[in-house]
Amino acid sequence: MARALCGLAPIGFGFSHFVYINLTAPLIPHWLHAPVLWAYLTGGAYLAAGVAILLKVLDRLAAALSAVMMGLFLLLVWLPMVASGHISAFNWGETYATWVLTAAAWVVADSYRGVVRLGSDK
């Protein structure tokens, strides 16, 4: 069940990056140029990870890479925003949610340890 949810959630995250591009792009740090490009790339990466997990094709790799991506969001977007004084219920909620989702994706990625099948990353 956790693996299925870990496959469905990134698909929703990916679509939200595309649908709410006007809200996603401004969150990209200014030192990363082309924020709209980064928003689209991460949205596409979420979609690819979700599909890979649901189809069980390189699913462990997809779960691990989505955990790394969410961890980078935590380190590059939410923690600096909170540390710089942009303290709001939304920012704290996103910081906490990203931390929890990163940990959950990592646990799911680790749950594939020892699973061997055709099309797997092992």
20 lies in a domain? Answer: yes
Please determine, for residue 122, whether its predicted confidence score (pLDDT) is greater than 90.
no
Residue 2 pLDDT: 78
Question: Per the structure, how many domains does the chain have?
Answer: 1
122 lies in a domain? Answer: no
The secondary structure of 55-91 as a DSSP string is HTSSHHHHHHHHHHHHHHHIIIIIHHHHHTT---HHH
67 lies in a domain? Answer: yes
Q: The domain containing residue 16 runs over which residues? A: 2-111
81 lies in a domain? Answer: yes
Average pLDDT over residues 71-88: 88
Average pLDDT over residues 52-62: 90
Local confidence band at 37 (pLDDT 50, 70, 90 cut-offs): very high
Nearest residue to 54 via CA among 42, 66, 38: 66
Instruction: Kindly state the tokens that stand for 69.
Output: 């991506």
116 lies in a domain? Answer: no
